[in-house]
Structure 1
Amino acid sequence: MTLNPVSSSARQLAVSDKTTTLLFDHDGTLIDSESVHFDLWKDILLKYDVELSEDFYCEVMAGIPVKQNAVDLVEHFNISIAPQQLAQQKHKSISDYLDKQAFPLMPFAKETIEHCANKGYTIGIVTGGSKNSVEKTLSQYGLSAYISCVVAVEDVENSKPAPDCYALAMDKLGKIPGECVAIEDTQTGMTAALAANLACVVIPTDLSKHHDLSGATVGYKSLKDWVDCELVF
């Protein structure tokens, strides 16, 4: 079962008058990176005579940290390489990409961050991706001043779908779950947020629209739709 983003006339709001803090996922939520990750994985796997399909990527890999992606790929396609080595190849390909440019922003991402900051919300980024990727985004697009906390895959032993990353972000910010809302795009991210007892907004992409997002507090078609519905007051 997938989530049908709600209309403005029939919705449960995630943001309330108790909300002080907005915790954004990075890949797929603030940056349009999943298609890049898909292409990078495709190039890597061709060396092992594996043709990665978009369906497999969407169903098994989207929103999952690289370490687990590598395990799943080796097991499913019976690739003759240690998962750790495969993950290292992917990390290098990401590093090479980020040496040249940041990932492109999702539509209305910069405006969303600026609007949330102007409304007085504390903003954090909680990602299953690398800190380097987040830092590149913040520096290239001039967003560093708005972000109070970044928790990345390097910061926790168990990344998403475990709740550890969100728990660490709240600890760093001195917040409790009732003050925070998570904004995610995948089932994996939503699961992490819900396990941390957070309200969760989901904004699926084309690569995650078939995920089971029915557990989310609310869903929207885009960041702009969410801002217009919940953050205009």
Structure 2
Amino acid sequence: MTLYPVTSSSHHRAVGNETTTLLFDHDGTLIDSETVHYDLWRDILHEYRVELSEDFYCEVMAGIPVKQNAVDLVEHFQLDVAPAVLADKKHKSISDYLDRQAFPLMPFAKETLSTCFKNGYTIGIVTGGSKKSVEKTLSQYELGSYVSCVVAVEDVANSKPAPDCYELAMAKLNKSPSECVAIEDTQTGMNAAVSAGLACVVVPTILSKHHDFTRATVQYTSLNEWVSREFGR
């Protein structure tokens, strides 16, 4: 998989002397879920005789919560179904998937959390996805001991790109924006973090490589590269 090239901004560090807390996005950042999401949406849309292209998924749907995905799909493909019905089908398909297994981890995700934890940082997960998905990741890969806080789509009225999820995580952890750094893979997630006043590291995937990351603090090609630069290992 060819990831997005690093910009020169990567020579700066996002984690400063004030930083105590690292808030990680889940889908696309810690877990390799977008391919699964794409496949599940394709299966659902086949019922409506719609062929979902990878390009449309990447440009319109990747990193966006299910509720908004459903609205966008009904509008774009002029489907004769309520967005809420489509969203319910997707939530059920994800739930069924998670009953069987967690999503696969992104490369170096476990080592990243371990390194951050060992360096004394408080770790939170802030996701536009479901709590069940995060809980499955933490249990299957034995990552629970590293994570102090989880904020999922069920916890806020407005999901990403609204800042609510990051604001709630900071409130739960009793942290200020200057103490926190977000790690994201999409423009939607980055906008949520920046709107909450956070510095933001972006690690784009092949699905988000065309996003506009000019508001990010730094950009890297992989978690491994970020950790190596940030913590010198």
Please tell me the root mean square deviation across aligned C-alpha atoms, in Å. 1.2
Alignment of 1:84-99 (within 5 A): 84-99=84-99
| Structure-1-length-normalised TM-score | 0.96
Identity of aligned residues (%): 73
**What is the Cα deviation at residue 231 of structure 1?**
1.9
Q: Equivalents in 2 of 1:7, 1:135: separation in Å?
A: 36
* Partner SS, residue 117 of structure 1: helix
Q: Which runs of 4+ in 1 moved over 4 A?
A: none
- Distance, in Å, in 1 between the alignment partners of 2:110 and 2:143 is 7
Q: Which residue of 1 aligns with 2:40?
A: 40
Q: Distance in 2 between matches of 1:228 and 1:106?
A: 16
Rounded to whole Å, the distance in 1 between the matches of 2:187 and 2:216 is: 9
CA distance in 1, matches of 2:152, 2:226: 24
The answer to whether structure 1 residue 60 and structure 2 residue 57 are counterparts is no
State the 1:12 CA deviation: 2.1
* Paired residues for 1:51-200 under 5 Å: 51-200=51-200
- Distance in 1, matches of 2:220 and 2:22, equals 16
State the alpha-carbon separation in 2 of the partners of residues 88 and 213 from structure 1: 31
Mind listing any 5+ residue stretches in structure 2 that lack a counterpart? Answer: none
The aligned residue for residue 6 of structure 2 is 5
CA distance in structure 2 between the partners assigned to 1:66 and 1:213 by the alignment: 22
The corresponding residue for 1:231 is 231
Counterpart in the other structure of 1:205: 205
SS in 1 for 2:11: coil
Counterpart residue number, 1:19: 19
Q: Give the Å deviation of 1:232.
A: 2.5
CA–CA separation in structure 2 for the residues paired with 1:7 and 1:100 = 42
Match of 1:123, SS state, is strand
Q: Which moved more, 1:10-19 or 1:131-140?
A: 10-19
Residue 206 (structure 1) shift? 0.5
Q: CA deviation at 1:7?
A: 5.5
Output one character per residue of 1:148-206: Cα deviation in whole Å (capped at 9) or x when no partner.
00000000000000000000000000000000000000000000000001000000000
Consecutive unaligned residues in structure 1, runs of 5 or more: none
| Structure-2 separation of matches of 1:179 and 1:58 | 32
CA distance in 2, matches of 1:85, 1:139: 30
Q: CA deviation at 1:21?
A: 0.2
Partner SS, residue 68 of structure 1: helix
